[in-house]
Amino acid sequence: MAQLRLRHPKGVSTIQVDLESATVQDLLQEIYKITEILPSQQDVKTGYPPKSLMLIPELPISSLGLSKGEQLIVNHNGKGQSTRSTPPRSTTSTSGPGAMPQSNTRPPAPTQPTAGGPDSVETEGGYLVHRVVPDDNSCLFSSVAIVFEQNIGKAQEIRKIVADEIRKDMITWSEAILGRPRDDYISTILKPLTWGGAIELAILAKHYNTEISSVDVETGRIDRFTPSPEADSGNRSILIYSGIHYDAATLAPIKDAPEDFHQTIVPVRGSTPETDPILKAAKDLADKLRAKKAFTNTSTFTLKCEDCGKGLTGEKEARAHAAETGHVNFGEY
């Protein structure tokens, strides 16, 4: 373990980090414990003059080129809330609603409500309303808590449901499917700073015997996570996915109805927007958000390898380049 020195808004602290086996995500979580600045909102600098580090959570901490005793300057990057005062709410990931979760922190979500209130679209029975949850790495779990428990504060209980199912079903949730040792996956998903993806949605649809339809803002694609046929309740819930963040969508009887009056689960009437009015409303809501550029494509932002100058696109290419060349210093164009 190596000691690193932190200079941050609260003062000066030290942390212990394994520079050989830890990941960038591990470092961000240690910084969060001291500073209460969310990983997605940390600006970490080192050197003289201080230079911001390129923080790709999935890379090994060695990608940052840190040495024992080095000083890190940590500040809030000015996006969103900076402390735990935000109520519990977006692993990992470059994973979309139909992909496996890969990393555990991300940039702040762009899908914030406008000054005039949340976005909504009219549909049969009322208005489908965009229910924005905090950008604190628990967005999927907070959205599911709103839908199925009507209580955003139960996000951690939703995490436990996932962990228990993985622990119980060793065949379905094998290491090959999870992409890592099962015990490691379980312990990671229970951490408040780890975000969820397709695996978690599949488990939760089964647990609640209810379809979870996730609508991608950028593409309008709808990914349907369904329970087993014999236990299917015939109902559906809607999540909105921005590329890095999940929110809920619920049905209000009138446009400005209090959230307590919203219907969070609706009957399934079809499998496509053409056959189901709620799916059509969900797609229309995604269209409305897309027009506001309320999405992030983490696979297309551009990077430059500072070691060789090669241009790269997205985290996937950065990870592949690091594995092939050993180069670990990246910057954004």
List, by residue number, the catalytic residues: 136, 139, 245, 327
Range list of β-strands (E), 134-245 = 211-216, 222-225, 235-241
Beta bridge partners of 52: 45
Q: 155-168 and 198-208 helices cross at what angle (nearest 10)?
A: 90
Q: Which bin fits 318, alpha (ψ -120 to 50), beta or left (φ > 0)? A: alpha
- Asked whether 64 and 27 are in contact (CB, 8 A), the reply is yes
Beta bridge partners of 311: 304
Q: Which amino acid is at 34?
A: I
The span from the CA of 4 to the CA of 318, in Å, is 25
Q: How many CA atoms lie within 13 A of 149 on its CB side?
A: 16
Token output for 143? 């959205």
